[in-house]
Structure 1
Amino acid sequence: MRFGLIIPSLLAVTAFAGEKIETVTQGEYGANWPFTVEKVDLLCQEGPPSALVRTEDGKIYALNGSARSKASKNGWLDGQSITKPDVSFPGIKMDYSEITVRAMKLCPSYAG
């Protein structure tokens, strides 16, 4: 059963080998940090740009629409699942659009 968890992680690492990766942390964002984990690696997959984050345990989370559309095929999880609730708006998750844009800027074809 453990092999099923290891293989997708290895495939995810291979898929991003040689691509730009940027690490961002809770310390950089302070109270505006939107995630339940303390740091993430930002990744972008070409083709329309898929903004992604990878947590320390190797799991990859889709942040934007193009990433979500490929998530199940690639074994990615939804970024909302590691997003903290917004204390100002009960029932709503925090906004991570700034982090999404930072991840998309890692794709060479991104013109935003």
Structure 2
Amino acid sequence: MKKIILALTLATLGADAIAAAQLVTLSRQQYGERWAFTREEVQLICRPGKAVFALNTGTLMQYPLNAAAQAQMKNGQVSGQPIDVIWLDDPTEPGKKKDLQPFIERGEQLCAAG
């Protein structure tokens, strides 16, 4: 199933993006209480321009994690939704969201590796 999802994801990105895109799958199990998403599993993708997105593997919707990704979405280069759609509230601090920094850093590592 994961191979099918990955193949569909790559097919939707286009030939140029495929060559430059880097992917990694992360899960709630790996991060425990630090997990910041409503989904049990997301993929992080580094797109050209060092834009880091969280990808919902069930819907293939992209959610921007860094400023470069937000700019690409705003400019219409990439379709997606705001990260707030899948970003969990922090139960220890009412009114605040969980920390995204570990996921942003992991995505930036993908960008550096590519």
**Shorter-normalised TM-score: what interval?**
0.7 to 0.9
Percent identity of equivalent pairs: 25
Alignment-derived partner of residue 13 in structure 1: 13
Query: Structure 2 length as normaliser, TM-score?
Result: 0.77
Aligned residues of 1:85 and 1:94 also touching (Cα < 8 A): yes
Residue pairs, 1:1-112, within 5 angstroms: 12-14=12-14, 16-18=17-19, 19-47=21-49, 49-56=50-57, 57-72=59-74, 73=76, 74-108=78-112
Aligned residues of 2:10 and 2:18 also touching (Cα < 8 A): no
Query: Structure 1 length as normaliser, TM-score?
Result: 0.78
User: Hey, which bits of structure 1, 4+ residues long, moved more than 6 A?
Assistant: none
Amino acid at match of 2:54: V
- Unaligned segments of structure 2, at least 5 residues: 1-8
Q: What is the alpha-carbon root mean square deviation over aligned residues?
A: 2.2
- Unaligned segments of structure 1, at least 5 residues: 1-8
User: How many correspondences in the alignment?
Assistant: 101
Q: Within 1, Cα distance between the matches of 2:12 and 2:54?
A: 11
Q: Secondary structure at the match of 2:43?
A: strand
